[in-house]
Amino acid sequence: MTKRTCRAWLVALGFALMAAFSSTANASMSGIDHLPDNLSVTDFWVNGVGGFQAGKGGRSAPGPALPEKWYPGLTVHVVWDVRDWEHDKGTTHEADVPVDPYTEDGDLWVHFLANGTVRVVVSNMGPRSPIYPGPHDPIPQKEPWDMYPPRIAYSDVSEQFLDTKLIHQRCDTESDPATCIKEAHEKLLDDERADARRYLPRCARITTGPAYEACKKQAWQSMYAARLARRCKVAPDLPECAPQKDAKKIQERSTGVLY
């Protein structure tokens, strides 16, 4: 074989390898959130392409280009934002994630597993299919933004102002007012979160529609009643603590967000 013929074969082989590994498909991408109830993947990116919020896999976005044929060592770079609703803070994570082997083009499924790791699957079948090649880990039914009131809320200023006023009145006579006020605010927030975790999870089983709104309205009434009871325990002389005004106040507040 001449040098020219050998060179021709090497060039042909190079083009064949490039065709095998560089041919790309650009399918849709969905994120699956397996994290605990108080956590959410609020945004994620795969090889720089955004996938928005991860959830149950029903929401999709254009995915990054991947080889038509899988090869050993194929990875993608995943960046994701996690919101901790219970502690009102967020974190950003990133990792080079191996892509599960695949034999044909398909959609890109990005699983954010409960243990904090990520798994990437290419499949024409979705996670609800019994023959889906990826993980079948539980997908929590959650509405964390409802179940965990934020540390700073602006939707109910008058109620917060009254609670803050009562805290200051009580703490002004303490030897360390600043510490007393801080601890009282933390206790107030913990109580409101406990109420939300007590009353709102039952509504998570109802996805949308009038039944969901009715469930949340009833939960808001229950949460406000608990909030009012705590307030009246420390300040029973407040006008709104009169028995006949109690029910009226709760009914008035049933149509709005309590925190």
pLDDT digits (tens, 9 = 90+) for 224-238: 888 888 888 888 888
Instruction: Please choose, from the candidates 148, 133, 135, the residue with its C-alpha nearest in 3D space to the C-alpha of residue 102.
Output: 133
Look-up of token digits 């969905």:
30
Sign of the torsion angle spanned by Cα atoms 182, 183, 184, 185: positive
pTM for the complete prediction? 0.63
pLDDT at 65: 92
Does pLDDT of 258 surpass 50? no
Residue-wise pLDDT for 30-84, tens only, equals 999 999 988 999 999 999 999 889 999 888 899 999 998 999 999 999 999 999 9
Q: Which burial class, exposed, middle or buried, applies to 193 when counting CB atoms under 10 A from its CB (0-12, 13-18, 19+)?
A: buried
pLDDT of residue 235: 86
Per-residue pLDDT tens for 86-121?
787 899 999 999 999 999 889 999 999 999 999 999
Which DSSP string corresponds to 123-175? ESS-TTSTT-SS---------HHHHS--SS--TTHHHHHHHHHHHHHHHTTSS
pLDDT digits (tens, 9 = 90+) for 169-220: 889 989 999 999 999 988 888 888 788 778 877 776 676 678 888 888 888 8
- Tell me what pLDDT residue 3 has: 47
Please tell me the distance from the alpha carbon of residue 209 to that of residue 115, in angstroms, as a whole number. Answer: 33
Q: Would you state the pLDDT for residue 215? A: 86
